[in-house]
Amino acid sequence: MLLKNKRVVIIYKDSQDAKVETQNVQDILGRKGIESITIDPSLLKQCETEATCEKNRFSEVDCVIVLGGDGTLLSASRVFSKLNIPVLGVNIGGLGFLTSVSKTDITQILNDIVENRIDIEPRTMLICKITKNNETIEYNALNDVVIHKGGALARIIDLKLYIDGEELTTFRADGLIISTPTGSTAYNLSAGGPIVTPSLNTFILTPICPFTLTNRPLIVHDESTIKIELVTRSYEVVTLTIDGQVGVDFSKEDNVILSKSVYKTLLIRPKDYSFYKVLKRKLGWGGGTYNSEDKRKCKGETKG
């Protein structure tokens, strides 16, 4: 049974729609004897770096309900994956590949959770280890790790790629996306990378606007160890971002290693959930709906 402690955390984005739906969720759960705790999304950033915050505050939480877009769920995933707590994403506007449950289905999915008529879908995460000045910092990512140029000058950067210790190539491009299958429908998709079924054991490496046509997207096994070296000019401004939300400066002296994380994001899904149905609906394939907001999302003009 999912709701053993009868305690749920609700995280909502800063919008009027999300606030209204939060009250609706609290009312529904309250009538079923389920305690709900709302937390400020800004607390998630604090909890990413403070393990005691995670354990003490959320030790008896059964699941997390995210009311917002994929960005809000990504923040939640990096915290609650470490605690093995399942997360439900409810889409409040935007494209929402991860927050695939519509707000019109909230009552039904909450009933299903209470009655234990749901599935838990584990999603692979990346771990990125960055060594700077002999100090190693670790970040987990559900979608992707992106290395990209910064500053105002339109210069390309050179990134040397190693797979399992073997030098493969040097990407000359605006940047490089290292994506999980879950993140294949995010920045990777906008950059021309392939859409990958989330259950596959792979990582995707997609160059951003490559200078050379031979620099193509590459799919590797998720047991691979990926090393990236910056071999461009020392004065170039280069940034490494985690899920598009956490940014770190990346210099020639830094060491970046990526591999499969020991943590997984546990997504709560309805029994009839299908990734391909979501794909058809979001991309407008086979007569599915595809509105103007979806189009702007796919072009990368907005973030969920």
58 with 102, same domain: the answer is: yes
pLDDT at 303 over 60: no
55 with 160, same domain: the answer is: no
pLDDT tens string 121-150: 999 999 999 999 889 999 999 999 999 987
92 with 32, same domain: the answer is: yes
36 with 136, same domain: the answer is: no
Residue 1 lies inside a defined structural domain of this protein: no
pLDDT at 288 over 60: no
Picking from 119, 101, 122, 120, the residue whose alpha carbon sits closest to that of residue 25 is 101
130 with 182, same domain: the answer is: yes
pLDDT at 154 over 70: no
pLDDT tens string 170-210: 999 999 999 999 999 999 999 999 999 999 999 999 999 99
pLDDT tens string 76-88: 999 999 999 999 9
255 with 290, same domain: the answer is: no
217 with 250, same domain: the answer is: yes
- 144: domain CATH number is 2.60.200.30
Task: Measure the CA–CA gap between 82 and 53, rounded to whole angstroms.
Answer: 12
pLDDT at 33 over 60: yes
The DSSP code sequence of 122-175 is: EEEEEEEEEEETTEEEEEEESSEEEEEE-SSS---EEEEEEETTEEEEEEEESE
Residue 282 lies inside a defined structural domain of this protein: yes
Picking from 85, 127, 93, 122, the residue whose alpha carbon sits closest to that of residue 20 is 93
Residue 267 lies inside a defined structural domain of this protein: no
Helix (H, G, I), strand (E, B) or coil at 204: strand
pLDDT at 51 over 70: no
Question: DSSP H helical segments within 256-291, as ranges?
Answer: 275-283
Q: Which residue has the tokens 């280069």?
A: 238
Residue 186 lies inside a defined structural domain of this protein: yes
99 with 175, same domain: the answer is: no
Helix (H, G, I), strand (E, B) or coil at 55: helix
Q: Which amino acid is at 299?
A: K
Please pick, among 70, 144, 243, 294, the residue that the annotation labels catalytic: 70
6 — pLDDT class (breaks 50, 70, 90): very high
Q: How many domains does the chain have?
A: 2
What pLDDT is stored for residue 301 in this prediction? 42
- 62: domain CATH number is 3.40.50.10330
**Is 249 in the active site?**
no
Mean pLDDT of 152-168: 88
93 with 176, same domain: the answer is: no
Helix (H, G, I), strand (E, B) or coil at 8: strand
What pLDDT is stored for residue 27 in this prediction? 96
Phi-psi region of 175 (alpha: psi -120 to 50; beta: other; left: phi over 0): left
288 with 193, same domain: the answer is: no
pLDDT at 14 over 70: yes
Segments forming the whole domain that contains residue 43: 7-116+274-298
pLDDT at 52 over 60: no
The encoded tokens of residue 11 equal 């995280």
163 with 287, same domain: the answer is: no
Cα 275 versus chain centre, distance: 16
User: How long, in residues, is the chain?
Assistant: 304
140 with 186, same domain: the answer is: yes
258 — pLDDT class (breaks 50, 70, 90): very high
Q: Which tops the pLDDT comparison, 14 or 248? A: 248
Tell me the average pLDDT of the chain: 88
